[in-house]
Amino acid sequence: MVTAGVVIALMMVAICAVVLYQSRVDATERATDGLRNIAAMAEHDIERNFELYALSLQAAVDGVNDHEVMAASGRLRNIALFDRAATASYLGSMLVLDANGNIVFDAAGEVPRVANFADREYFRVHQQRSNVGLYVGHPYASRLRNGSLSIPLSRRISHTDGSFAGVVLLAIQLDYFRQLFSTLSLGNHGAMVLMQQDGTLIMRRPYDEKVIGRNVSNASTFKEHRQKVEGSFTDVSVIDGVRRLYYFKNLRNLPLTIIVAEAYSDIYAAWWQRTVTIAGVMLALAAAFIGLSFAFGLQLRCRMRAESKLAMLAQTDGLTGLHNRRTLGEILNQEWRRARRTRSMFSLLFVDIDWFKVYNDTYGHQAGDATLAAVAKCIGDNIRRPLDHAARYGGEEFIVVLPDTSPDGAIAMAENIRVAIADLGIEHSGSEFGRVTASIGAATWTPEQDSDVSAVVRVADQALYTAKATGRNKVELSMVQVG
C-alpha cells in the first residue's frame, strides 16, 4: 500500500514537472514571438524613415546636376535641393560637399557654414568608389552641432564624365534610435541593438554612450546573426554579462541589423513564481498522499494482524497454545479424508495427566494452569512433522493427530511424550510417582478397516482408560477393529 502510494505520488510529481516544463517552453516561445514582433516594428519604422531620407538625398543629387536649379536664387535653390528635409525630426544636417570636402550648400540656410569633411569615412568611400549608391556610414560626433552623435547617410555626386564631384550628406541624430528603442517593452533587463553589418554598434538599449561606434564583430552574438537573415539564439552579452534570449533581423534594404533581447530572468519571472506555488502545493499533496498511504497501510496491517490474531485465537486454546477442540474437529476430518483417499495409516494419541484433580485441589488452580501449559509445551516440542497436530481436548486431556503413522511410530511418539512430561519434575504429592505424569492411549487405523474417525477416537480413549486402570504413567495401544 505504501509502495503504491509512493509510486502514485511520484507519478503526480512527474506529471506536474512535465506540465511546468512545457509551460517554460511556452514562455520561451511567447518571448521569441514577442521579440520577433518588436524587431519587425523597429525594422518598419527605420526603413520607412530611411526611405524618405534616401529620396531626399537623391533629390539633392538630381538638383545639383540640374542647371536650372543651380541658376536659381539661393532661397529657391535650397528649397529645390533639400525639399524641406531640414525640418524632419532628428535630422542633424543636410549638406552638399564639393570634391574637396567643403560645404557648398547647407539646408540650414542660404549661406553655407564653413567646414571641411574630406577626412570623414563616408567622403573617402564615395571619393574612391563610384557605385556605392546610398551609403550608411559609421557613427560620429558632429562638428557642426557640438559633438552630437549622428550617423551619416550619403550619396555621390558625379560629373557628366563620371568623375567625382562631391557628396550629398544627411546626418541622422542617434537620439532618433534611442527614442525609438525606449518606446518598445523589453522587460527590466532587456536589450536592443542596432548595428552595421561589419559589427559597428549604432545604438544600444540600455543606452551607454561609451559603446556607440564600438565594433563587436568578435562577439559570439555577432557570429550568430551573420549566418542567416533572421533567427533566435541564446547567449551572454559581452557588454553586461547578462544571459538573454536574442532575436536578430538583418534589414532587407539597409546594411543594418536589429538585435532584440530579453533577459531570461524577465522571461521566466512569472513562470518561476507560478512554478514555486504549483510545485509547493504538488509536493505538499504528494507528501500528504504518501503519509495517508502509510497511515492507511499501517491501519490495514494492524487490522490484518488483529484478524490474524483473532483467527488464531479462534483456532487455539488460550491457556496451552495448542489447537482447540473446534479446530481439532476440522483437522481430524481433513486428515481422515486424506488417509482414506491415499489409503495410508492414521494414528491418534489420547494424553491425560494423572491425578490432575487431586493436583488442583492440592496446589490450586493457578498451579494447575501452569502445569497444563508445561505439559502442552512438552507435547508440542515432540511433534516435529508438519502434518502432525496436537490439541487440547478438554480439561487435562490432549489429543495428538499422527497422519501416515504406523503403530510402532505411534508408540514411539507416545513414549517420548510420556517421558518428557515425567522429566519435567513437577512435584505432585498426590501421585504415587511424586511428580506429574501422564497416561497415553494410542490407536491406529489401517486402510483395510472400514471405520470412521470417531471410531479411532473411541479406541484411543479406551486405550487411555486401560493405561489408567493398569497403573498410569504408561502407554497403551489398541488397533481399530473392522466394523
- What number is the average pLDDT over the span 94-114? 91
pLDDT, tens digit, 9 for 90 and up, residues 173-185: 999 999 988 888 8
Amino acid at 258: I
pLDDT tens column, 30-88: 989 999 999 999 999 999 988 888 888 999 999 998 888 888 888 888 888 887 655 66
Domains in the chain, start-ordered, CATH in brackets?
1-308 (3.30.450.20), 325-479 (3.30.70.270)
242 phi and psi, to 5 degrees?
Answer: -90, 135
Residue 349 or 216, more confident:
349
Q: Which residues of 60-95 are buried (b: 16+ CB within 10 A; e: fewer)?
A: bbebbeeeebeebeeeebbebbbbebbebebbbbbb
Q: Is the pLDDT of residue 147 over 60?
A: yes
Distance (Å) of CA 273 to CA 24, 185, 218, 268, 282: 12, 21, 37, 8, 14
Q: Give me the pLDDT at residue 313, please.
A: 64
Encode pLDDT of 272-306 as tens digits. 888 888 888 888 888 888 888 888 888 888 888 88
What is the reported pLDDT for 357? 92
pTM passes above 0.75: no
First to last CA, the chain: 57
For the record, the C-alpha cell of 445 comes out as 487405523
Cell numbers at residue 275, please?
Answer: 512554478
Q: Are 402 and 388 in contact (CB under 8 A)?
A: yes
At residue 168, the pLDDT reads: 95
Alpha helices in 216-316 (DSSP H): 220-225, 264-267, 269-315
Q: How high is the pLDDT of residue 390?
A: 93
Share of the chain above pLDDT 90, in %: 41
Please answer whether residues 360 and 368 qualify as being in contact, where contact means their C-beta atoms are separated by less than 8 angstroms.
yes
Q: What average pLDDT does range 444-457 have in this prediction?
A: 79
| Mean pLDDT within 362-385 | 92
Q: Please give the share of the chain, as a percent, with pLDDT higher than 70.
A: 95
412-422: pLDDT as tens digits: 999 999 999 99
pLDDT of 307-357, one tens digit each? 777 766 667 888 888 888 888 888 889 988 888 888 888 899 999 999 999
Contact indicator for 330, 399 with CB cutoff of 8 Å: no
Mean pLDDT over all residues of the chain?
A: 87
Q: What is the pLDDT of residues 122-132, one digit of tens each?
A: 999 999 998 99
CA 69, 72, 76 angle in degrees (round to 5)? 90
